[in-house]
Amino acid sequence: MGFPRDFPQKTRRREPERVRSFLAIAVFRGNDGTMESAPPPSDPAPPAAAPRMTDLERLRHSAAHVMATAIAKLWPDAQFAAGPPVEDGFYYDVELGHRISPADFDKIEAEMKAVVKTNQPFERIVVSRAEALALAQKGRLAALGERALPSRYKLDILQGILEGETITLYRNGDFLDLCAGPHTMRTGNVKAFKLTAVASAYYKGDEANPQLQRIYGTAFPNKTELEAHFVMLEEAKKRDHRRLGAEMGLFAMDPEYTGPGLPLWLPKGAAILEELEKLAKETEFVAGYVRVKTPHLAREKMYTTSGHLPYYAESMFPPMEIREERRRTSDVGDAKENPASSSDRYFLKAMNCPHHHRIFAAAPRSYRDLPLRLAEYGCCYRYEQSGELFGLMRVRSMNMNDAHIYCAPDQFAAEFNAVNAMYLKYFEIFGFTKYRMRFSTSAPEGMGRKYVDEPALWKQTEDMVRRVLQESSIQYVEVPDEAAFYGPKIDVQVWSAIGREFTLATNQVDFAVPKRFGLVYRDRDNADKTPLCIHRAPLGTHERFIGFLIEHYAGNFPLWLAPDQVRVLPVTDAQLSYAQALVAELRAAQVRAEMEFSNDKLQGRIQRAEAARVHTIFVVGAKEQASGAVALRVHGKGQQGVKPRAEAIAEILAAIRNRSR
RNA sequence: GCCGAAGUAGCUCAGUGGUAGAGCAACGGUUUCGUAAACCGUGGGUCGCGGGUUCAAUCCCCGCCUUCGGCUCCA
């Protein structure tokens, strides 16, 4: 309970459904039971229930088989599991004594080329369960011939296939695999491919299962597109927030001294952080939020009450044990008076809500006080698994764009709607056009186990949320059985400029935890009632949000966010005082401005300013000084002509105020 | 946490069983310059950390840390 570790932090890319279906697999619901050839690449009608694939996916799926054929030839004891197409290519999971390393790629690719060259047809074969099992027992599936050991993963997959479903094999040359298809016509269709990575993956994604070697590759219809893909990847790498963050001096990671996952905000990054928080504060002020401030830690009782302990404990930093000397009690020889107790343990907070609940409880509340909207960009600490840390996107210390709205049931729809409107406002400001709201609901079978056992409340709340979503015509998808323990939630998924999808923000309804804290308000009928609580973080964590913004803008921030808003470059030292006066005027108006005069030529200084992504450059020479003007240059746009200084500064102030893009 | 790979100057990278180099950055000097790199010079590294092998380890071996690619997790 309590706020899921993913409250604002959710990065995992879900496997496309079709990938899972491959594991379940190899099934057509057709019923012919006869052998037939694979459909040609252009055939629009593979059996109706076959996995649907685009032409590109089909090509990549076939490439996966070509790769498996090559691997089976090089290492006949290879045990294959699943080999689907994925977003950027394909993979095949394999269990193998030999550790495949990138050094083996050349060898594997050479074998693949041989398979492509012989242009083997992909042949679709429908078999009975008994036939398939017999082949698997003989190690004949996902292999070039019979083997001493059974095809264990294929056998397992076969056992997962329901009675009555059609079982199909695909064969190319001697390579025979359990597979639902579809495939291209022949191996010769796999013209342009490349192996890209090797990693490990648990069989069926379950930690309890063996780890397999997952070999990734990609394939395209032709060499040109393949090469373009790698060029695109190189370009994407240049936008990576970890790289830009270092280049631009936004943040630093200091694992040795500060600790892994604990970013240091450098002055230029902190400037962005503060602009973001300024925006949020202004927006929330207008929307009737009030700001609070709470400590970074709390006693154990806070989290036993909230329910985070012991369940959530492993995601929290270990407790600080406060060992008081038992001075007085030891003096009188009665240590039992003051035994070390659990109340001597403090925890760094992993979420702000318990503290906010205590603020709610700090005074008697009337229905007149509701809705009460408590906002705080509290710094939370989560002990994320080491392998999960990822630049700013997954960190261990985070500022949440947090607020908790306590309201009565009849206020819920309006509050929830207002929160959604706030999300949309932000997206508009930042120019996010591609996002999706993911509405996670409960499932009846999880009641009392996975979810708080309040079926009526669940239904009521989910209906409310669904109605609000429909009425506001927000694009969303509903995902059953993915809700939080304490209520339904909405995650906002976005795609960064480099195509990475993750959850930026979460909006959750909580009808369980306020009760655990005994929170009540006195209603009109003079009865004490438990408020509903909406947890909302439209900017998620500021760390992740800025990581996303860096990639979204490729480091080229709009003026209001740009760490370097204006740089004044005097042409010669004769303009130093004029330049300094300009900087002073800009700073007096709260603009981040600086002057640079060095031994470099003007051209060199411009080059450096552009490389540093300074938003606006004022070049001032004798002419500008004489006329009280500035020569403007804007990052990405080049020279903008000469303007009177008052006009130039007024435009800058207006652009900052409007947060225009 | 798991599997694999990597860690050399602030950054990007080269290199060798005989204790290290380049470009950019930094610093100093010359140059007073008009829109994406003027010129000359200087300093800078416990080669991630700890063990081991060796006459000798940045290089070979082992352990650890961190990062990266995946996986798992993400009530």
CA of A343 to C1' of B28 (A): 61
Q: Please give the share of chain A, as a percent, with pLDDT higher than 70.
A: 88
- Using the structure, give the distance in angstroms from the CA atom of A357 to the C1' atom of B72, rounded to a whole number: 33
Mean pLDDT of A513-519: 92
ipTM, 2 dp = 0.91
**For residue A476, what are the contacts with CB-CB under 8 A and spacing of at least 6?**
A436, A437, A438, A439, A469, A490
Query: What average pLDDT does this structure show over A82-103?
Result: 82
Q: How far is the CA of A548 from the C1' of B11 (A)?
A: 23
Q: How confident is the model at residue A631 (pLDDT cuts 50, 70, 90)?
A: very high
For chain A, what is the mean pLDDT? 83
Neighbours of A156 (CB within 10 A): 16
Report chain A's C-alpha Rg in angstroms: 31
* pLDDT at residue A56 is higher than 70: yes
- Nearest protein residue to nucleotide B48 (CA to C1' distance) is A256
As given in the structure block, the two tokens for residue A376 are 């705080």
A9: closest CA among A399, A439, A442, A403?
A: A399
pLDDT at A499: 62
pTM for the full predicted model: 0.84
Least confident segment among A394-398, A472-476, A488-492, A553-557: A472-476
Residues 6+ apart with CB under 8 A from A262: A253, A254, A395, A396, A397
d(CA A553, CA A558): 8
Residue A226, number of CB atoms within 10 A of its CB: 17
User: Using CA atoms, how far apart are residues A463 and A482, in angstroms rounded to an integer?
Assistant: 16
| A518 has a pLDDT exceeding 50 | yes
Q: DSSP characters for A17-72? A: HHHHHHHH--EE-----SB-PPPPTT-S-S-TTSPP--HHHHHHHHHHHHHHHHHH
A600 — pLDDT class (breaks 50, 70, 90): confident
Q: Band of the pLDDT at A18, cuts 50, 70, 90?
A: very low
Reference A266, options A282, A249, A278; nearest CA is A249
Which residues make beta-bridge pairs with A252? A264
At residue A497 the predicted structure's pLDDT band, cuts being 50, 70 and 90, is low
Per-residue model confidence (pLDDT) at position A325: 52
CA distance A489 to A466: 11
The C-alpha atoms of residue A574 and residue A371 are separated, in whole angstroms, by 61
pLDDT higher than 60, residue A27: no
- pLDDT tens per residue across span A163-209: 777 888 888 888 888 888 788 888 888 888 888 888 888 887 777 77
The Cα–Cα gap between A93 and A194 comes to 16
Mean pLDDT for the stretch of residues A409-423: 90
How many other CB atoms are found less than 10 A from the CB of residue A235?
12
Q: pLDDT value at position A567? A: 95
Please tell me which residue, A223 or A98, carries the higher pLDDT value.
Answer: A223
Name the closest residue (CA) to the C1' of nucleotide B30.
A599
Nearest to A539 by CA among A279, A183, A263: A279
| Contact between A108 and A71 (Cβ < 8 Å) | yes
- Protein contacts on strand B: list nucleotides below 7 Å from a Cβ: 1-5, 11-12, 29-39, 65-75
pLDDT score for A281:
96
Distance (Å, rounded) from C-alpha A189 to C-alpha A205?
A: 31
State the amino acid at position A315 in one-letter form: S
Nucleotide nearest to A14 (CA to C1'): B74
- How many Cα atoms sit within 13 Å of A574 on the Cβ side? 8
Element (H, E) at A215: strand A211-220
Q: Which residue is nearest to nucleotide B1 (CA to C1')?
A: A385
Residue type, A591: V
Q: What is the pLDDT of residue A47?
A: 47
- As a whole number of angstroms, the distance between CA A377 and CA A371 comes to 19
Nucleotide closest in space to A450 (CA vs C1'): B75
Q: According to the per-residue pLDDT averaged within each range, which of A8-22, A66-80, A345-359 is highest?
A: A345-359
Neighbours of A411 (CB within 10 A): 17
Please tell me the distance from the alpha carbon of residue A202 to that of residue A200, in angstroms, as a whole number: 7
Span CA (A560) to C1' (B53), Å: 60
User: In the structure encoding, which two tokens stand for residue A654, read together?
Assistant: 């207006």
Q: What average pLDDT score do residues A425-454 get?
A: 83
Predicted confidence (pLDDT) per residue in A370-383, tens digit:
999 999 998 999 99
Highest mean pLDDT, choosing among A116-125, A167-176, A332-341, A615-624: A615-624
- ∠ at Cα A514 (A513, A519), nearest 5°? 150
pLDDT of amino acid A100: 79
pLDDT of A111 higher than 60: yes
Cα–Cα distances in angstroms (integers) from residue A588 to residues A560, A562, A592, A649, in the given order: 16, 18, 10, 11
* Rounded distance in angstroms from the CA atom of residue A599 to the C1' atom of nucleotide B28: 12
Quote the crossing angle between the two packed helices A267-286 and A542-553, to the nearest 10°. Answer: 110
Query: Which nucleotide is closest to the Cα of A213 by its C1'?
Result: B3
DSSP state, residue A620: E
Q: Which residues pair with A176 in a beta bridge?
A: A143, A171
Q: What is the pLDDT of residues A546-572, one digit of tens each?
A: 999 998 898 999 999 999 999 999 999
**Would you state the pLDDT for residue A43?**
36
| The two three-digit tokens of residue A619, written as one number | 């070049």
Protein A463 CA to nucleic acid B35 C1', in Å? Answer: 60
Q: Which of A117, A105, A107 is nearest to A187 (CA)?
A: A117
pLDDT digits (tens, 9 = 90+) for A287-306: 999 999 999 999 999 999 98
In angstroms, the CA A619 to CA A639 distance is 10
3-state SS of chain A: helix, strand, coil percent to 5? 40, 25, 40
Tokens 């390393």 belong to residue: A101
Closest listed residue to residue A372, CA positions, set A306, A277, A288: A288
The strand ranges marked E within A349-488 are: 372-376, 379-381, 397-399, 402-407, 435-440, 476-479
Closest protein CA to C1' of nucleotide B4, residue:
A199
> Nearest nucleotide by C1' from A386 CA?
B1
Q: How confident is the model at residue A51 (pLDDT cuts 50, 70, 90)?
A: low
Q: Which nucleotide is nearest to A624 (CA to C1')?
A: B34
Protein CA A94 to sugar C1' B62 (Å): 29
Question: Has residue A3 got a pLDDT over 50?
Answer: no
Q: Is residue A42 over pLDDT 60?
A: no
Is residue A342 exposed (0-12), middle (13-18) or buried (19+ Cβ within 10 Å)?
exposed
**pLDDT mean over A421-446:** 86
Alpha carbon distance A475, A494 (integer Å)? 13
Separation in Å: B69 C1' and A229 CA: 18
Question: Which residue's CA is nearest to the C1' of nucleotide B36?
Answer: A607
**Share of residues in chain A with pLDDT > 90 (%):** 36
The gap between A230 CA and B38 C1' (Å) is 37
Q: Is A453 helix (H, G, I), strand (E, B) or coil?
A: coil
d(CA A307, CA A131): 53
